[in-house]
Amino acid sequence: MNLTISGHHLDVTPALHSYVTSKLERISRHFDQVVDIRVLLSVDPIKDKDRRQKAECSIHVKGKDLYAESVHADLYAAIDELADKLDRQVLRYKDRVQEHHHMPMKREVV
């Protein structure tokens, strides 16, 4: 699994990098066919009083790309919300894949 964390108008500190890594570990725990994860952390520099922190992530799993984003006043809260959204998406995709492969074939009796 390749993990790429980048920042836009933001320096990604080692503490921030380890926090994102620890939050996204549960995704690879729930679904082992994750190929690539790209995280983009950004700060909206327009208003200093109301600075919006945004976390975006795209995950490439076998056969599909998943995307989620979260906007919050606190970057750590945005990362938490992002991890929850991605976890739900990955579990839903995993259930779909498992249901598709385990459906019995319908046979007609002649």
- CATH class assigned to 2-101: alpha beta
Kindly tell me if the per-residue pLDDT of 106 is higher than 70. no
Average pLDDT over residues 37-55: 82
What's the mean pLDDT in 6-32? 89
Per DSSP, the residues of 46-106 read S-STTPPEEEEEEEEETTEEEEEEEEESSHHHHHHHHHHHHHHHHHHHHHHHHHHHTPPPP
Residue with the bigger pLDDT between 15 and 52: it is 15
